[in-house]
Amino acid sequence: MTQLWDFAGGIHPAEHKHQSTSRPIRQSGLPERLILPLQQHIGAPAEAIVIEGERVLKGQRIAEVTNGMGVPVHAPTSGTIESIARLPVPHPSGMDDWCITLIPDGEDQWCQRHPIADYRQMERDEVLDTIRMAGISGMGGAGFPTNIKLRPPRDRKVSTLILNGAECEPYITADDMTMRERSDEIISGLKIMAWILRPERCVIAIEDNKPEAAAAMKKAAEGTQIEVVVVPTKYPSGGEKQLIRILTGMEVPSGGIPADIGVMCQNVGTAIAVARAILEGEPLIRRVVTITGEAVAEPGNFEALLGTPIHYLLSQAGLQETQLHRLVLGGPMMGYTLNTPDIPVVKTSNCVIAATAQELPDPEPEQACIRCGQCAEACPMELLPQQLFWYAKAGEFEKAEHLNLFDCIECGACSYVCPSSIPLVQYYRYAKGEVRIQQAEQLKADRARERFEARQARLEREQQEKELRRKERAKAAAEAQAKKKAEAEQAAAKGEAVDEKAAKAALVQEALARKKAGAATAPETQTTDAENSSPAPDIPALEKQLTQAKSKLDTMQSMLEDAKAQQADNVDKLERAVAKNHERVKRAEEALAEARADTTPATQSTE
Amino acid sequence: MALAQQSSPHARKARSTSRLMLWVILATVPGLLAQTIFFGWGNLINVVWCIVIALAAEAAMLSIRKKPLAFFLKDNTAAVTGLLLGLSLPQFVPLWVSAIAVIAAIVMAKQLYGGLGSNTFNPAMVGYALVLISFPVAMTTNWAQPGLLWESAPGFGETLNLLASGQQTVVDGYTMATPLDEYKHKIATHTAAEVLEHPTFGEGIARGWEWVNAAFLLGGLVLIGLKIITWHIPVSMLAAIAVMSLAFGSNPDQYAPVTLHMLAGGTMLGAFFIATDPVSAATSHQGKLIYGAAIGVLIYVIRSWGNYPDAVAFSVLLMNFAVPFIDHYTPPRTYGHHKARRGVPGKTQG
């Protein structure tokens, strides 16, 4: 007897499984149209590689993922592509998405298949690639691409491979019936996955409410090392984390994946898909779907081509439309309601419940939480649902996160037991959504702040550099001023009158000379004989003129240099400006000469 | 075809809050029956009276708060508050005193805090403590003398008259000090054997009281069996009283014996029906254990060294204060985590 562990919480909802296990799996046949959504699992959507009006063969690839994580989509039968358009797809929001619509021609003509007789002779990567090309993604839950899941990170060795046949949700019997009727194919698929992963232990877990399935699997597993383990019925034992706990006593670390503790779970349907892909060369084009609920007369399981509209399956199961009140895709605990039966079966569709109003009645109005704690007793993740609810309702998401909001698996056990009819899971989804939005906004805000800070730093740096240059210039100017002052004193001591106009002209001259001197390396500047005249009486005005003139020249100089370095268009223009400046200098020189005639020449200037 | 759009889960267990409350009410029936048999009609009259006042006060407050009456009244929580007060008040307490207790419970402790689910304090115990402090005479001298209903106690009509008369004290002959009161006040000057001669103790542990407590214990076990309450609070509370009694009060000539603590006064009613009020109690299993044990310790401390012979109301109210604090430090360890995240976000991390 294999040792089993228990997980916390859990509930025992009414099973409603017998109604769909009394009939064998039926083939649903060819509907008028097949609708194949381009996105059938998490990851990147596929892109259509066929055009409208094109004839395709059964098993032909019609959409492929070129960028990102994803697997191709295949034509489930031969026929003509009618359209590639946005149609309602299976999604809780009831949204439309891109779908390829295929009109079957009834011939069911296969394309070339490439079965692999002995996969053991091949490289594992080749087998994984075949699995990818067969379009296989997990058929139990979120539909993670199987080839990626089967190749865990290099440092993660999978020591326990679990085939999840627990099927703990009420109503659903797709895995149960598959195990009863197709146990050999399941074992073949499991063997392929085991060959890829080389685990030490390979377990098929089945809840004890499915004795027929367990017996069939035990028989099929005879002579292999595969263990068939019957686990106690308790929802949600089929949850990946709970099943791992039951079988190994270990827990998947929060935020981690099962491979972190050397475990991998695969679904029963996925095993069959792998077996067919490798051994028969058949891509994933069909799956078993449970059609049940009190609004159908003949509930049971159907093997349906992917893309089969749900209304087609419902009519085959004898839908009594007047009775139908709620249409649930998936189980009654985690499934979502559909607003139309026109949506197609996809790779992850396991069950459709056509429920009457008595069967799944509308919820009672929400009452106040009395903190009775029944939710905490039921929670399989050992959370405090009522506290999470309180914080979610109050918008205190930080506190909700602190109480491990994101460990919630949304199994619905808390809402199920809540005596006040509080839709707890809905509150957690809302809180998670809000936290994700906040995180996205935070990220955006952080980036914006970084950008702003970088800009501020740059501006500040430029300002400092400018300030530094200004100080240098001021210093130079002050030195010149001091010199002139000394000269002026000298001149004043000589008792000579000063012609103001001449003095100004002289100062301009001096400034220009200084400019030329400062920019001596530039070829287009011309050194002038800088001759100074008598000092100016209006010191501040002269100083200002001097600074302005100098900065103007600096700017012009640097602009010209930049322009030359970058081979910009405005080089000519700048050169003209410099030439103009030369003229000004000339004129100033002439004025200086005139002024000289009137005033006493002063000492030589600025070298 | 209009299909119903609902968020998962779609299946629900049909056990509503009003149904839970109904079970709580039913679980008190054995206790009420025992009270009636041993202490006369007083408790039954009190229970009916308190429930009526409670529903009226609730309805009045709901209409002032503009809430739908039927929807909230049918949750049965106001009835439970009235019921618990009726069960815990002295048998001969005047009707106006019990009315004040109920109104304080419903109006102040419950509705002014935001109604069901939002009250910090146990409403019934707020009402009880208020009248105990305000009308100590009425609340301590009106305990019925134990005796079989069909032998000694006043008849139904007479009891009703006494209750309605409005007198704070009832003529002697019908009332008697409670066993805890008697023991507490006599043991200072007498030996245990002398104290126990008083008729309030009878031949067993505490005449009448022992049956009443046993009946509430039975009702409480039913609630645990139906998973309406968990065992944590009652067990830790009773264990704490027992441990305190054995550790500090093992000498019967000084302190009341452990059997008296367990089977007299409001111990069992408190442990299974009052301390377990989920709204004002701690949340997690560990929190409940701490909460219950602390109530038990406080009950023993107040009974032994305080001024009051019984102490369920004060102990529960004192621990109600501590609930948010307890809750912050006793969350369970979540699956996939090494340890629980205790404390307040941003201050301590687990």
Q: What are the extents of the domains in chain B?
A: 17-167, 177-329
Q: Is it true that the peptide bond before B9 is cis, omega within 30 degrees of 0?
A: yes
User: B12: distance to nearest CA of chain A, Å?
Assistant: 5
Residues in B touching A337 (Cβ below 8 Å): 3-6, 10
Chain region(s) in chain A for CATH 3.40.50.11540: 18-355
Look up residue A24 and give its two tokens: 């064998």
Angle between helix B123-134 and B312-329 (nearest 10) = 140
A566 burial (CB, 10 Å; 0-12 / 13-18 / 19+) is exposed
Question: Could you give the CA distance from residue B85 to residue B95 in angstroms, rounded to a whole number?
Answer: 12
Question: Could you give the CA distance from residue A344 to residue A347 in angstroms, rounded to a whole number?
Answer: 10
Buried residues in A120-142 as b, exposed as e (16+ CB within 10 A): eeeeeeebbebbbbbbbbbbbbe
SS3 category, A399: helix
Which helix (H) or strand (E) covers residue A104, if one does?
strand A96-104
Q: Given CB atoms, is B70 within the 8 Å cutoff of chain A?
A: no
- Size of chain A in residues: 607
Task: Give the CA-trace dihedral at B268, B274, B278, B283, to 10 degrees.
Answer: -60
Query: Which residue is associated with the tokens 């309601």?
Result: A337
DSSP A139: S
Residue set of the binding site of A? 369, 372, 375, 379, 408, 411, 414, 418
Confidence of residue B341 (pLDDT cuts 50, 70, 90): confident
pLDDT for residue A510? 76
Backbone angles phi, psi at B96, to 5 degrees: -70, -30
User: How far is CA A111 from each of CA A36, A54, A77, B59, rounded to the nearest angstrom?
Assistant: 18, 14, 10, 74
Q: Given CB atoms, is A328 within the 8 Å cutoff of chain B?
A: yes
pLDDT for residue A541? 61
Among the residue ranges B11-20, B47-56, B266-275, the one predicted with the least confidence is B11-20
pLDDT for residue A63? 94
Least CB-CB distance to A332: which of B9, B283, B327? B9
User: What 3 state SS string does chain B have?
Assistant: CCCCCCCCCCCCCCCCHHHHHHHHHHHCHHHHHHHHHHHCCHHHHHHHHHHHHHHHHHHHHHHHCCCCHHHHHCCCHHHHHHHHHHHHCCCCCCHHHHHHHHHHHHHHHHHHHCCCCCCCCCHHHHHHHHHHHHCHHHHHCCCECCCCCCCCCCCHHHHHHHHHHCCCCCCCCCECCCHHHHHHHHCCCCCHHHHCCCHHHCCCCCCCHHHHHHHHHHHHHHHHHCCCCCCHHHHHHHHHHHHHHHHHCCCCCCCCCHHHHHHCCCHHHHHHHHCCCHHHCCCCHHHHHHHHHHHHHHHHHHHHHCCCCCCHHHHHHHHHHHHHHHHHHCCCCCCCCCCCCCCCCCCCCC
Residue set of the binding site of A for [4Fe-4S] cluster? 369, 372, 375, 379, 408, 411, 414, 418
Between chains, do B281 and A353 touch, taking CB under 8 Å as contact? no
Between chains, do A334 and B8 touch, taking CB under 8 Å as contact? yes
Query: Which one of B5, B6, B8 makes the best mutation probe of the A interface by having the most chain A beta carbons within 10 Å?
Result: B8
B45 with B159: CB under 8 angstroms?
yes
pLDDT for residue A524? 47
Q: Is it true that the peptide bond before A236 is cis, omega within 30 degrees of 0?
A: yes
Task: For residue A417, give the chain B residue with the closest CA.
Answer: B13
Confidence of residue B198 (pLDDT cuts 50, 70, 90): confident
Q: What is the pLDDT of residues B109-123, one digit of tens each?
A: 999 999 998 999 999
Which helix (H) or strand (E) covers residue A99, if one does?
strand A96-104
Q: Given CB atoms, is B339 within the 8 Å cutoff of chain A?
A: no
| Average pLDDT per block of 10 residues along chain A, 607 residues long | 89 93 93 93 88 95 90 95 94 91 94 91 92 92 87 86 95 96 95 94 95 96 93 94 95 92 94 95 95 95 96 95 93 93 93 94 88 91 93 91 93 93 93 92 93 93 94 92 87 64 73 69 47 50 63 72 69 72 67 58 45
* Contacts for A561 with CB less than 8 Å, ≥ 6 apart: A522
Look up residue A75 and give its two tokens: 């034509």
Look up residue A60 and give its two tokens: 């032909």
Share of chain B above pLDDT 90, in %: 59
For B295, what's the count of Cα atoms within 13 Å in the CB-facing half-sphere?
35
What's the mean pLDDT when you consider all of chain B? 90
Q: Given CB atoms, is A161 within the 8 Å cutoff of chain B?
A: no
Q: Is the pLDDT of residue B27 over 90?
A: yes
pLDDT greater at residue B348 or residue B150: B150
Whole-model pTM? 0.78
Backbone angles phi, psi at A304, to 5 degrees: -115, 145
Q: Is the pLDDT of residue B207 over 90?
A: no
Q: Sign of the C-alpha dihedral, residues A51, A57, A58, A59?
A: negative
Query: Which residue is associated with the tokens 């992917």?
Result: A306
Looking at mean pLDDT, say which of A603-607, B175-179, B243-247 comes out highest: B243-247
Q: Given CB atoms, is A368 within the 8 Å cutoff of chain B?
A: yes
Residues 192-211 of A with CB under 8 A from B: none
Least CB-CB distance to A403: which of B11, B227, B331? B331
B127 with B104: CB under 8 angstroms?
yes
Least CB-CB distance to A369: which of B117, B281, B336? B117
CATH of A18-355, one of 2.60.120.10, 3.40.50.11540, 3.10.450.50, 2.40.110.10: 3.40.50.11540
Buried residues in A543-561 as b, exposed as e (16+ CB within 10 A): bebbbebbeebeebbebbe
Residues in B touching A353 (Cβ below 8 Å): 10
Confidence of residue B349 (pLDDT cuts 50, 70, 90): very low
A57 burial (CB, 10 Å; 0-12 / 13-18 / 19+) is middle
